């Protein structure tokens, strides 16, 4: 700043209200938002591609990234009964245990654990990209 005073960036109140409403709508229906997340990051993508796409989201839209993280934490803390069907059907993510007895599908708890691992890894990517990011109303869930 020419006068040496740093100023807060101006955010139009209506834009802020719209963003807040979008966040509230997403997090009010976490299973529906999870479908969006799975389709965007996982369907037709490898793990590396999903992570690369996530890094782009974190750089370009940190507010949306926080919504994704909060949704993942909501889902892993209180998984819906159809979580496996959502992950397999919408994200096209299928895991199998290769055991000496047989090839058997993962259990629901395994999918919750996988999603929790993704949430932790993505949380770390966010924290690294935005080490000083603080949001007063909502922040990444811990």
Asked if 62 and 125 touch (Cβ cutoff 8 Å), the reply is no
Rounded Cα distance, 70 and 142, in Å? 9
Asked if 66 and 26 touch (Cβ cutoff 8 Å), the reply is no
> What are the extents of the domains in the chain?
30-129
Each residue of 5-48: pLDDT tens digit?
666 666 667 666 767 778 788 889 999 999 999 999 999 999 99
pTM check: above 0.85: no
Residue 9's pLDDT is what? Answer: 63
Q: What is the mean pLDDT of residues 82-99?
A: 86
């Amino acid at each position: 700043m020419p006068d040496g005073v740093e100023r807060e960036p101006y955010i139009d109140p209506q834009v802020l209200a719209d963003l807040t409403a979008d966040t509230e709508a997403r997090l009010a229906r976490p299973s529906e938002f999870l479908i969006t997340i799975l389709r965007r990051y996982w369907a037709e993508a490898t793990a590396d591609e999903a992570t690369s796409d996530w890094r782009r989201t974190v750089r370009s839209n940190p507010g949306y990234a926080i919504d994704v993280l909060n949704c993942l934490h909501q889902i892993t803390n209180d998984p819906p009964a159809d979580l496996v069907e959502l992950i397999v059907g919408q994200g096209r993510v299928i895991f199998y245990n290769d055991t000496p007895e047989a090839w058997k599908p993962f259990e629901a708890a395994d999918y919750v654990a996988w999603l929790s691992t993704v949430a932790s890894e993505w949380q770390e990517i966010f924290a690294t990209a935005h080490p000083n990011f603080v949001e007063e109303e909502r922040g990444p869930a811990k």
